[in-house]
Amino acid sequence: MSNLPDEVIWTLTNTDDWGGGLERTYRAENVEHAGCGGDVLLVHLHDEMGAISGAHSRCAKCGEDLTA
């Protein structure tokens, strides 16, 4: 179960090349982790063709997995 609202505004904060594609990190502008008040991050992994191959969400402060 996700504790994130439906309308989250994400801002791209970081792009890394992990070797097989790009990893893009987004930060939620209008949401914080209810548990500790930390920033909520969304990480998208892209394959070499640019398609999203994985996504997960976590708290930047306490590291809790917030993936829906």
- Closer residue to Zn ion, CB minimum distance, 47 or 56: 56
| Residue 33 in the binding site for Zn ion (CB under 5 A) | yes
| Residue 27 in the binding site for Zn ion (CB under 5 A) | no
Task: Decide if 45 contacts 55 (C-beta within 8 A).
Answer: yes
Residue bearing tokens 């976590």? 58
| Residue 12 in the binding site for Zn ion (CB under 5 A) | no
**Site size for Zn ion (CB under 5 A):** 8
CA distance 24 to 68: 18
- Helix, strand, or coil (residue 6): coil
Residues found near Zn ion in the complex (CB under 5 A): 33, 35-36, 38, 59, 61-62, 64
